[in-house]
Amino acid sequence: MAGEPFDKRSGFIWYDGAMVPWSDAKVHVLTHGLHYGSCVFEGERAYGGEIFKLEQHTARLKESARLLEFEIPFSEAEINAACREILKVQKLTDAYLRPVAWRGSEMMGVSAQANTIHLAIAAWEWPSYFDPAQRLKGIRIDMAKYRRPDPMTAPSTSKAAGLYMICTISKHAAERAGFADALMLDWRGRVAECTGANVFFVKDGVIHTPDADAFLNGITRQTVIELAKRRGYQVIERAIMPEELESFDECFITGTAAEVTPVSEIAGRHYQPGPVTRTLMEDYMAEVQPKKQAA
């Protein structure tokens, strides 16, 4: 999305325990996280001044780092407090937050066991991930060339920066072709996810979604499954093959940035944003709003 460059914005970023002016929150060009992908992050969203499912995001951040075999030098309670603090310092109520942790620059090479682990947290205003007018009609998705890797070749349950390289390539290719995003298969040829969101399908009122065994089991994905079950919808998590795509009635994607977004097309296969999708869009937006305390 076009806009002010992220390195030119104003305010502060929480950086290794201190509030640092936005323009001074820098890393060296020889940092290990840049060269070798030893970096993990989270995407979080605040609504009405409260960060939705903050504790789950922080727990996943710590687990992602553990899977990359480094320990973030702050407790989950300290990270939660820092996220809330930066939101207040930036004077934001509806915002996107990006905690990111990485290996520093003491050692340059594949092995970097002595490198300092850094943590930074930024927060900024965040508009709709997709064009608002297009989002209500359903976005168009292409098929990606690259596939999600076998979990035996990469830590697929970690929200690791390096795992998004093929997502960027795939999304750029889709946008050049006039689509909003791309659907990725896994290494077995099964439907997996989009470049930054999980995917759901609806057929005869039943919700189907791929097993999260080769990609991130998104926090929004988990929330939507819970909301669907509250409504009495049947949710089936299973292997979905690409030849099934034409058989579904509705399709939508979920993610912290995307929230619940209807899909109108996947590479020539068309869907009508229907009652299940609309209901879950409304239920999700109600769920993320801060709960008022009873008097």
Nearest Cα residue to 22 out of 121, 94, 99: 121
Residue 121: predicted pLDDT = 98
- Alpha carbon 138 to chain centroid distance? 19
Instruction: Mark whether 159 is an active-site residue.
Output: yes
Strands 50-51 and 39-41, bridge-based pairing: unpaired
Residue 3 reports pLDDT greater than 80: no
Helix ranges, 213-292 (H): 219-230, 275-288
153-182: burial string, b at 16+ Cβ within 10 Å, e else: ebbbbbbbbbbbebbeebbebbeeeebbbb
* Mean pLDDT over the full length of the chain: 94
Domains of the chain listed by start with CATH number: 6-124 (3.30.470.10), 132-288 (3.20.10.10)
Catalytic residue among 62, 159, 171, 291: 159
Residue 136 reports pLDDT greater than 90: no
pLDDT in tens, 147-193: 999 999 999 999 999 999 999 999 999 999 999 999 999 999 999 99
Residue 129 reports pLDDT greater than 80: no
CA distance linking residue 78 with residue 87, whole number of Å:
14
Predicted structure pTM score: 0.93
pLDDT in tens, 16-67: 999 999 999 999 999 999 999 999 999 999 999 999 999 999 999 999 999 9
Residue 130 reports pLDDT greater than 90: no
pLDDT in tens, 253-286: 999 999 999 999 999 999 999 999 999 999 999 9
Confidence of residue 293 (pLDDT cuts 50, 70, 90): very low
pLDDT in tens, 194-228: 999 999 999 999 999 999 999 999 999 999 999 99
Mean pLDDT score, 68-79: 97
Residue 22: predicted pLDDT = 97
CA distance linking residue 147 with residue 156, whole number of Å:
12
CA distance linking residue 77 with residue 71, whole number of Å:
15
